[in-house]
Amino acid sequence: VAVATNGTLTFDELHRAMPVMFIVDLAPSVLGIAGALVGVLYHRLHRAQARTQALAEEIAATWTADLQRANGELAQAMDQQQRLYSAVSHELRTPLTSILGYTQLVETIDVAPVEASEYVHEIYQASSFLLQMVNELLEVAKLSRTGLTVALEDIDCCAVVENVTGLLRPLADASDLTLVASDSAGLHCRADTVRLRQTLTNLIANAIKYSDSGTIVVRSAEVDGAVEIEVIDQGRGIAAHDLERIFEPFAQTDDRDGTDSTGLGLLVSRVLVESMDGTLTAHSDGPGHGSVFRVRLPAATGDAREVRVALLEREPAA
């Protein structure tokens, strides 16, 4: 029993005398603190759950987008592969049919030597086209898979032009065409000598192939701080809507049907020129008005030699 001081129990004395009452008095405070802690913990748990759910939704959305993109790229790749197989089959059929047909004529028919010589020439032409197509297909395959090495350095581009035109002049002469090089002596650009020679060879050979008469001019000049090399012919010309299509594989334009060509050479040439920080474009005033193929490359910079890889990139999936 607690004894009152001066006849009155103090609060502390009462709690010491009656501990149960002390607990009862503290209960609201303890419960309040506990409730507050529970509320804080619940709020934090709720926020953590919300963040976890948001993160899960973001991850799911990202995975879904990546999966859709991958599926789109796979579908596009399969479509491109199917179109390539179809185009290659079509391109192979014509020269193979020609080779088989003329071979059978030579084997089964008693032909004069002059006619036999003509048949052999046709077989040779068809075989040459097949070899060209196989080489171009291998080139495109390498561009797509591992890429082609490009070594950029300051070069005498006019010397490259002279070299290529000299090599192809007999081919032009055989087609009754005049091939001339018009350039500024000592013109230097930044490019890969081998790849530039490959590109110009393809452009000039195409000009010869699609020209029935006239002159083919290869002109080099410095324009706005860059070097431009133009292959100008007086051949069949190109319709406006075909000026970009000619750079697509196996594209047959309105004015070039009937001429053996896969279109792969122009595709490879554009990829190579772009890998040298340049551009390859085509211009024509229309069928019957000739064509101009323009290679634009950076001028010489004096920088050290740089090696890079030219790759053929797929078009992004829609």
Q: 209-221: per-residue pLDDT in tens?
A: 888 889 999 999 9
**pLDDT number for residue 161:** 93
Q: What domain range is 168 assigned to?
A: 148-310
Instruction: Please choose, from the candidates 153, 245, 289, 264, the residue with its C-alpha nearest in 3D space to the C-alpha of residue 206.
Output: 264
Same domain, 179 and 257: yes
The residue among 133, 195, 129, 207 whose CA lies nearest residue 165 is: 207
Q: Is residue 64 a part of any domain in this protein?
A: no
Which stretch, 225-234, 258-267, 308-317, has highest mean pLDDT? 225-234
**Cross-strand bridge partners of residue 226:** 223, 298
Residue entry with tokens 């987008």:
65
pLDDT of residue 279: 95
Which pLDDT band holds residue 103 (cuts at 50, 70, 90)? confident
Of 92, 110, 144, the last residue of a domain is 144
Q: Are residues 244 and 286 in the same domain?
A: yes
Asked if 161 and 137 sit in the same domain, the reply is no
1 pLDDT tier (thresholds 50, 70, 90) = very low
Over residues 226-244, mean pLDDT: 91
- Is residue 229 predicted with pLDDT exceeding 70? yes
Q: How many domains does the chain have?
A: 2
Distance (Å, whole) CA 96 – CA 133? 12
Let me know if residue 299 belongs to a domain.
Answer: yes
State pLDDT tens for residues 43-72: 777 788 888 888 888 888 888 888 888 787
Q: Clarify whether residues 171 and 128 are in a common domain.
A: no
CATH number, position 247: 3.30.565.10
Q: Please state, in angstroms and rounded to a whole number, the distance separating the CA atoms of residues 136 and 263.
A: 9
Residues 190 and 269 in one domain: yes
In one-letter notation, the amino acid at residue 129 is F
Show which of 92, 112, 144 is a domain's final residue. Answer: 144
d(CA 3, CA 69): 86
Q: Are residues 178 and 269 in the same domain?
A: yes
Cβ atoms of 284 and 238 closer than 8 Å? yes
Same domain, 210 and 288: yes
Output the pLDDT for position 137.
Answer: 76
Query: Mind listing the pLDDT tens digit for each residue in 110-121?
Result: 777 777 788 888
- The pTM assigned to this predicted structure is 0.64
DSSP-derived letter for residue 34 is: H
Beta bridge partners of 153: 191
Residue 119 one-letter amino acid: Y
Whether residues 136 and 152 fall in one domain: no
Q: Looking at the domain assignment, is residue 49 inside a domain?
A: no
129-142 pLDDT per residue, tens: 788 777 777 777 77
Q: Is residue 132 domain-shared with residue 219, that is, in the same domain?
A: no
Residue 102's alpha-carbon distances to 109, 121, 142, 303, in angstroms, are 10, 10, 34, 55
